[in-house]
């Protein structure tokens, strides 16, 4: 697989070190990886026990991170998409629709098995956020990276306390990386931040308060 965004790098007026830093941030905080980390963290908190948390978390991230990401990688391997970030907006709805379906199945499993309230709320927040992103993607290339990053910040702060808003630094770094790599415009990055922070965050608040 080719290095993400390598083809567009020569067009940028930034140094190679800055470009590679942006690539690293985009990869480390990729949406699927963030979804997995967030799901495991919230599951641990909601279950109140490490092993129960790992069990619920494994079920959660299977449908919200692992399966959707595997679908994307399979599409890349078959040549459907340029890379796992799916840079062409016209190609994104298929992957997002699959993600919505996968999260919906996972949500059903969580509810049926009596998962902790916070974990169910997180799954619903992800479902609504993905659905909004899917609807927007039909007409505009919103940043999924930024949406997931800012959504994660708000939900972590709601679960563990306001001090975790400090993780917003990482979300801002994600936004910076998408701009440096010219994967999105400033407006698309802001749009992603609004979807993640306000829509997913609001859904989580409503379902946990």
Say if pTM beats, i.e. exceeds, 0.95. Answer: no
Distances (CA, A) of 144 to 12, 31, 48, 126, 149: 22, 7, 30, 12, 8
Residues written for the chain:
209
Name the residue with higher pLDDT: 12 or 177.
177
Which residues touch 86 (CB under 8 Å, ≥6 apart)? 72, 75, 92, 95
Strand ranges (DSSP E) for the chain?
none
Q: Which residue has the tokens 């948390």?
A: 53
Whether the predicted pLDDT of 1 surpasses 50: no
| pLDDT score of 3 more than 90 | no
Q: Cα(59)–Cα(1) distance, rounded to whole angstroms?
A: 29
CA 184, CA 207: separation in Å to the nearest integer? Answer: 32
Average pLDDT of the residues of the chain: 91
Sole residue written with tokens 């480390």: 28
pLDDT tens-place string over residues 58-91 = 999 999 999 999 999 999 999 999 899 998 999 9
User: In terms of Cα–Cα distance, which of 39, 45, 44, 37 is closest to 160?
Assistant: 45
- Nearest Cα neighbor of 34 from 189, 187, 149 is 149
Residue-wise pLDDT for 192-206, tens only, equals: 999 999 999 999 999
Rounded distance between C-alpha atoms, residue 182 and residue 5, angstroms:
9
Using alpha carbons, select from 148, 138, 127 the residue that is nearest to residue 195.
Answer: 148
Gap between the Cα atoms of 184 and 177, Å rounded? 10
Q: Which residues contact 97 (CB under 8 A, 6 or more apart)?
A: 134
């Amino acid at each position: 697989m080719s290095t993400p965004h390598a083809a567009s790098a020569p067009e940028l007026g930034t140094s190679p070190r800055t470009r590679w830093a942006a690539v690293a941030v985009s990869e480390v905080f990729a949406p699927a990886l963030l979804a997995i980390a967030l799901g495991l963290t919230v599951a641990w908190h909601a279950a109140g026990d490490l092993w129960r948390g790992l069990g619920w978390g494994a079920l959660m991230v299977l449908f919200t991170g692992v399966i959707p990401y595997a679908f994307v990688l399979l599409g890349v391997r078959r040549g459907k998409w340029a890379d796992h970030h799916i840079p062409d907006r016209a190609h994104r709805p298929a992957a997002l629709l699959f993600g919505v379906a996968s999260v919906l199945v996972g949500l059903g499993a969580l509810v049926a098995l009596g998962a902790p309230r916070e974990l169910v709320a997180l799954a619903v927040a992800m479902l609504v956020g993905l659905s909004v992103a899917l609807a927007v993607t039909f007409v505009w290339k919103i940043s999924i990276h930024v949406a997931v990053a800012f959504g994660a910040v708000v939900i972590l702060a709601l679960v563990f306390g306001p001090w975790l808003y400090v993780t917003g630094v990482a979300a801002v770094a994600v936004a910076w990386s998408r701009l440096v790599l010219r994967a999105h415009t400033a407006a698309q990055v802001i749009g992603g931040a609004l979807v993640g922070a306000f829509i997913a965050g609001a859904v989580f608040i409503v379902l946990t308060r």
